[in-house]
Structure 1
């Protein structure tokens, strides 16, 4: 998207187009669009690469229970230090957990609610190459709010949400 807009515009207003799970909050709020929307979409793709599963709002387990929106679940597991539970089972024997944690951190920073909190793609590349490091990212508030509204019943996943935060 950023390449289509061109270098002459640092911000532009346009009509939203794309797959819902990959659209940055700016598309919905109607604020000017910057290259940080691409960073958001890249973060969502990283989530799928790590987990081997799509990032839809609601997923259902084999027994019919509603599963948590993966990016929010991933952010919680990253904070708890349980990156292994996020990695696609097909990769578990061949994955370097330090690299998996780095991928998760980058992905979580990329999907921050506020575009100013997201890294640039240059920072993303440097971090993925191991040339720089990122602190632990906060869990995006917008994604938590979306997830809370979509879960049925809400108490099923109360372990993921600390209401005192």
Structure 2
């Protein structure tokens, strides 16, 4: 995977490394197909638990491959939920992970939604500074103001020439961030990306709120910090 990981291309301020619109589309589609395979086509379902740009590798043609299965868990086909410790990367964790509930493949779909937002907006959901506003909170504000186009990556003119399509992908990311029971499966996401499916209309964006791990872990007795596996940046 000679081109490296996705984060090097969407978070790099060097315009020479900026991804054009078509490549961003193809990468998002490639990750979606990969997750569809893991969740719905394997002999046993696989929950990755650490979907993020650092774990999306790109070959010489920018074809995306999901990597690093160190936190992954196999789930029987007839089993929809699995109890697991808190694990993943801060900024990509589905809210249900913090509540000690049984987890399904939809934990990955939430993480994928964050990856979509980061890929189209060209910024991290969480920055190293605790004072920086999380991208998901910015998306909530702009969605309520019907101004999602303000978040499109401004480092490349090509993506701005496809503004309407970029906003549609941001809305797809939002669709993946809904509460667990409303979150789509990956085959539905793939159909939307292929143009053969439709997204639900979302009018209430209350679920777009960043959950901070320090408050959640300390206040929830179902999970103890020492039992958590929190992946850091690479």
**Is this contact kept in 2: 1:84–1:97, CA < 8 A?**
yes
Q: Are 1:106 and 2:172 matched, yes or no?
A: yes
* Cα deviations by residue, 1:1-37 (Å, 9 ceiling, x for unpaired): 5263222421110112210111111111011001110
Query: Structure 1: 5+ residue runs without aligned partners?
Result: 61-65, 150-165
Contact 1:51 1:86 in 2 (8 A): yes
Cα distance in 2 for partners of 1:142, 1:53 equals: 17
TM-score between the two structures when normalised by the length of structure 2: 0.53
The alignment's C-alpha RMSD in Å is: 2.5
- 1:81 and 2:146 aligned: yes
Shifted more, 29-38 versus 120-129: the winner is 120-129
Q: Which runs of 4+ in 1 moved over 6 A?
A: none
Q: Which residue, 93, 97, 103 being the options, matches 2:163?
A: 97
Task: For residues 20-69 of structure 1, give each alpha carbon's deviation from its aligned partner in whole angstroms, at most 9, with x where no partner exists.
Answer: 11111111101100111011000011111011111117757xxxxx4422
Contact 1:44 1:107 in 2 (8 A): yes
Greater percentage in helix:
1
Structure 1 residues 57 and 27 mapped into 2: Cα distance closer, same or farther (>3 Å)? farther
Whether the 8 Å CA contact 2:95–2:211 is kept in 1: the answer is no
Q: Which has the higher strand share?
A: 2
2:197 to 122, 125, 132: 132
**CA distance in 1: counterparts of 2:171 and 2:135, whole angstroms:** 14
Q: In the alignment, is residue 5 of structure 1 matched against residue 77 of structure 2?
A: no
Segments of 5+ residues of structure 2 without an aligned counterpart are 1-45, 49-72, 216-234
Residues 7-156 of structure 1: matches in 2 within 5 Å?
7-56=77-126, 59=129, 66-95=131-160, 96-112=162-178, 114-134=179-199, 135-136=201-202, 138-141=204-207, 143=209
